[in-house]
Amino acid sequence: MKKLLRYTQILSLMFSAALLSSCQNKEHTDPKISEEIIKVSNALDGWDYNIAPDSLTSMCENVIEESREILTRLENSNDEPTLQSVFQPYDEMGKSLQRIQHVWYMRSVHPDPEIRNAATICVQNYSSFATEISLSRKFFDRVALIETKSLNDPEKLMVKRKLRDFRKSGVDKSEEIRAKIKNLNERITELGSNFDQTIREDTRYIETTLEALDGLPADFIASREADKNGKIKISTDYTDYFPIMQYAHNDELRRRLYVASKSIGSPSNSDNLMKLITKRHELASVLGYENYAALAMDGLMMQSPSRAAKFLNELGVAVKNASKNDLAVLLERQKKINPEATEIQAWQSSYLSNLVRQESYALDAKEVRRYFHFDKVQSGIFDLTESLFGVSIVSWKTDTWHEDVSAWEIQENGSPIGRFYLDMHPREDKYKHAAHWTLRSGLKNSDQLPLSGLATNFPKDYMEHNQVETYLHEFGHLLHNMFSGTQDWLDLTGMSMERDFVEAPSQMLEEWIWDKSTLQKFATNDAGEPIPDRLINKMNAARNFTKAMGTAQQLFYSNVSLSFYSKSPEEINLIEMLKDLQKEYSPYPYVDGTYFYNNFGHLNGYSSNYYIYQWSLAIATDLFERFKDEGLNNVAVASDYRRKILEVAGSKPADEFIEEFLGRPFSIEAYIDLLSNL
């Protein structure tokens, strides 16, 4: 799954800015400069990832208690309420809490189940304390009394947002209602954690034979060993799933693996999800909102569920004909395999698309992947970052939680501006998809540097081109955090802008992975030969084939997310709603025995707001117009983009800083035009 900045709803209310290698780190080396000495940072930073579970629990408890003491002092202060007297202790509390912010990451990637459990409990306690803050009437009263006339625009915006978030949290309700809200939020956090954990720990397997793997790349087949009965075990992890779906000639093998994948989390997550939806709806009702979607969109660029529905409908109209055309091409190809075929199933789409690309575009995905070895891809992404933004990425020698994890430091003019971890390969019980975590937000004129963590499940050898695109996407989130530590206050720094903007920079950065000059700098085969022009031309010629279908599927996901949280729980029958929504929006029919909503993790993290990916794509398409006009590798434009978009963080409304970069207001028309002309 692409893309994911993962923040809880509570933390986004109260700590929007704070939200969210081993000792043998791999060096950042290009084959051409492998003999050069690579600079290494030995900075002391990060966390002790070898901590014992009970020590992690104690640390979490101590940090929360220290933070609670700061809150108490803030609430009971007799000082005149000013920006300094209120927000300085508030930031002190936020910095204190950032000492345990890595627990969101650790519950997803740490190999020790006891550490993951301790981290999960810490997440729940942290979220509970965040709810306490959001319901502190004394804190709210002090913020409300701040005189804002003399403040600058970012500071006025910070106070305005804080008051809005307080009211969204129910701080102005009675003590009895606030207690109920606190209990609801704690239960929502618990249910969300259970939902996520069930997905994370539920890897499913099917058995097959060597013969059934016909069509798979030779290196994939060679890495699988049959047992004494001739059976080969295939998992639902991405390293198995995507190659099988794209290359396996055996239709039944693909069908079985698809059903297994879309059954993850079942049956227990059906109960978790319905309880989560119910409690969120109850919370929204207590707070005076019609439904949870209305609560979740209050303060975002989108503003309301009705506007989200209108936006999704506009995209659906724009992409409808092109999606039908894509399906018709795939069905024509499927009829050559099965003359009686009347529709395309979800497990057939990638396989048939690959065949059509080979036959109609002469594009062989197996040939393409030979140019994308993981190490070269990572080096290429680092080099792209360095050349565009004038920074250096050096190895950071620090402890980590697994031998596969590497750690890095970004430097500018020889000084560090941020650090990050990369946990990029699959293992048992690790987070199954691809995501970025903000472990710490940076602060201007401070020694507090941004800290980030990525988790993906890429193979250690050859990657599919779409996996390279995913890597660059997630790295875009990381860079956003690295470059956004430019403000003086936690509520203005980091990725503290509207949440439905945050995917846009990452989605725009994906464009570079289709650029010839970028690709030929790092995409080389085993002989060291760069990917040829002819292959890049074929890739771009085939790029938009099935893009309409993919967009239609994303609109299906968005409507599932919106619909589940826009209705009263009494109106929701999960499986029947899924079938109805799939029939209306998805290019593929429902498959018996699958329960997609049970493994759709965004139903917790993004709740109603999965529309964000399409909204951000519209923004990204508009932002990219300037790079298209002035050059993808134009460092002046990149510098302007960094300064006017990434570094602004939450100090301005997103609409304003987009307009400053483009020289005009943001419009979805560029994206509508793109979809209409696929």
Same domain, 13 and 126: yes
Flag whether 50 is in a domain. Answer: yes
Element (H, E) at 506: helix 504-509
Both 150 and 246 in a single domain?
Answer: no
Whether 97 and 144 share a structural domain: yes
Instruction: Find the mean pLDDT for residues 385-402.
Output: 96
- Same-domain check for residues 130 and 188: yes
Q: pLDDT tens digit string along 608-627?
A: 999 999 999 999 999 999 99
- Cβ-contact 268, 196 below 8 angstroms: no
Please report whether residue 155 resides in a domain.
Answer: yes
Write out pLDDT tens, residues 349-368.
999 999 999 999 999 999 99
Residue 93 within a domain: yes
pLDDT (mean) for 324-341: 97
Together in a domain, 178 and 136: yes
CB contact at 8 A, 41 and 409 = yes
Same domain, 291 and 213: no
Does 222 fall in a domain?
Answer: yes
287 and 143 assigned to the same domain: yes
Q: Report the pLDDT value the prediction gives residue 29, as an integer from 0 to 100.
A: 44
Q: Give the CATH number of the domain where residue 118 resides.
A: 1.20.1050.40
Cβ atoms of residues 620 and 668 within 8 Å: no
Among 537, 413, 423, CA closest to 478: 423
Q: How sure is the predictor about 10, in pLDDT bands with cuts at 50, 70 and 90? A: very low
Domain span at residue 167 reads 9-20+46-199+277-297
Q: Given 3-state DSSP classes, what are the helix, strand and coil percentages for the chain, each rounded to the nearest 5? A: 60, 5, 35
> Is the pLDDT at 118 greater than 80, yes or no?
yes
Task: Answer whether residue 553 is part of any domain.
Answer: no
Q: Is residue 537 part of a domain?
A: no
- Using alpha carbons, select from 673, 132, 23, 635 the residue that is nearest to residue 389: 635
454 close to 479: Cβ distance less than 8 angstroms: no
For the segment 549-572, what is each residue's pLDDT rounded down to a tens digit?
A: 999 999 999 999 999 999 999 999
Q: Given the DSSP bridges, would you call strands 40-41 and 392-396 parallel, antiparallel or unpaired?
A: parallel
Q: What is the pTM of this model?
A: 0.88
Which residues lie across from 436 on neighbouring strands? 5, 454
Do 91 and 239 fall within a single domain? Answer: no
Same domain, 53 and 149: yes
Rounded CA gap, 378 and 331, in Å? 37
How many domains in the chain?
A: 2
Is 146 found in the same domain as 240? Answer: no
Is residue 60 situated within a structural domain?
yes
Within a domain: residue 68? Answer: yes
Q: What is the pLDDT of residues 522-553, one digit of tens each?
A: 999 999 999 999 999 999 999 999 999 999 99
User: Per-residue pLDDT tens for 417-457?
Assistant: 999 999 999 999 999 889 999 999 999 988 899 999 999 99
Shared-domain flag, residues 248 and 292: no
| 88 plus 209 within the same structural domain | no
